[in-house]
Structure 1
Amino acid sequence: MAWRSSGSSNAALVENLWTNGLLTSPAVKAAFQRVDRAHYAPSAPYEDSPQPIGHGATISAPHMHANAAEALLALVAPAPAPAPGRRPRRVLDIGSGSGYLTHVLAELAGEDGVVVGVEHIEALRDLGERNMAKSPEGRALLESGRCRFRVGDGRKGWVEPSPREGVPGVGGHAAEAPGAQQGADAGGWDAIHVGAAAEELHEELVSQLRAPGRMFIPVGGKEGWDQYIWTVDKDADGNVTRKRGYGVRYVPLTDVPGAAGGRCDYDSDLYYE
């Protein structure tokens, strides 16, 4: 039903995604309603299709963002009545591109959550920040440190200091908590979203998942026709399971353009089954 989900406004797009069963959780639907795609897509923002954003990258089709958010919901959104002492949610968005899904995930993560978008091109990192700053809600997320954009090699994951709740640091970056726990689980991620296709499931990413944690990642060759969405789950005991899902076509998770094996300019991430 993806091809029928386009709308004339953000509200209409989200409602069509909901009607067609591409959004199924009220929490995810509400997050999509709070983030206007017009701030992130360069043209025809309410069409359910991917669009190029420069540097060989795309903003994914809304139905793909919906599918990713739904898949990660349980590990991103806080429980309605969180247990005392529950650690804040930490979410990593690799290949954050336009910043659209980064913003949606930050809306889902709650007031004590932290979402970090990582891009390997500085111009795309800056694009995500500029796009998010177009709305009062986005500016508040950036200024509080609840949402941040970084430049780095996403294939190696990302290490970000654990924030002290409610205390932003210099430039809106949250300060590290005194006496913060050490180790991959303390500084790891409840959920990892990868927005470009990896040639393999990088163990660095798996190791950075908290227990429990989940990763949503397209994996496959650079040609795009043998790519599939994989979900990788780590349970509370640290046991890892991997499940291959539907076929997709994403830009590859590779080096900066100009380097060997740089990103190709695919223009589609529509799934097929």
Structure 2
Amino acid sequence: MDDPIRAAMAAVAREDFLPEGQRKHASTDAPLAIGWGQTNSQPHTVEAMLRLLDLGPGMRVLDVGAGSGWTTALLAHLVGEDGSVIGVEIVPELRDLASAALSGYDPEHVRVELAERGVLGWPAEAPYDRVLVSAAARSLPTPLVDQLGDGGLLVVPVRGRMTRVVRSADGGTTVTEHGAYRFVPLLDW
């Protein structure tokens, strides 16, 4: 398969990251409830976000709102063994479920951390080449832009619009919008 995103989505089974009662719906192109008011995002939306991220092998990626860990696993597949992915989840039970679903992955390569109170993202290991946010922000999350390295890229739904932010070497940003989407809200402390 020449399309790395489609190959990743074929290789990483969505059902492995869903609660037992939702697994029969894994092939449905819709968001699925995973508990605690959160969802596993619609596959079509995930694909669009991954395309906007413009991922490559060896990149360091932050996955904010990792939920069940499915997007974290997809990102890990796309950056390969030389890359790394840190998922961050605010709901402790979801963080535990995501970690269990990712138990077959090398923890040096991919893991999910519990979000720290009052901290957006995972600044302790910044900068990142890419940041993906799978929850709707009320405004552009500046703390996540600050965690990007030079040339880094952030994809985040902001007020219902998929927003792509590219950080230049001088710290400036280029912001573009890429369609309307619905997400659960980005939870904050």
- TM (norm. structure 2) is 0.90
Size of the aligned set, in residue pairs, is 184
CA deviations on 1:208-253 (whole Å, 9 max, x unpaired) are: 1111111110112xxxxxx111101113443311112211111111
Q: Which runs of 5+ in 1 are unaligned?
A: 1-14, 16-24, 79-87, 134-138, 162-186, 221-226, 257-273
Contact kept? 2:68, 2:98, Cα under 8 Å: yes
Deviation at 1:207, TM superposition (A): 1.0
Matched, 1:156 2:120: yes
- Structure with a larger share of its residues in strand: 2
CA distance in 1, matches of 2:111, 2:144: 19
After superposition, the Cα gap between the structure-2 partners of 1:155 and 1:127, relative to the gap in structure 1 and judged at 3 Å, is: same
Matched, 1:77 2:47: no
49, 54, 58: which one aligns with 2:35: 54
Tell me the secondary structure at the aligned position of residue 156 of structure 1. Answer: coil
Q: CA RMSD, aligned part only?
A: 1.9
CA distance in 2, matches of 1:248, 1:34: 25
Report the residue type matching 1:26 in the other structure: D
In the alignment, which residue of structure 2 is the partner of 1:109? 79
Deviation at 1:132, TM superposition (A): 2.2
Report the residue type matching 2:4 in the other structure: A
Larger radius of gyration: 1
1:110-125 equivalences in 2 (<5 Å): 110-125=80-95
- TM (norm. structure 1) is 0.63
CA distance in 2, matches of 1:211, 1:255: 26
Matched, 1:128 2:98: yes
CA deviations on 1:94-149 (whole Å, 9 max, x unpaired) are: 0000100100000111212110000111111111111223xxxxx1333xx10011
Deviation at 1:89, TM superposition (A): 1.6
Q: Percent of counterpart pairs with the same letter?
A: 36
Report the residue type matching 1:57 in the other structure: Q
Q: Which runs of 5+ in 2 are unaligned?
A: none
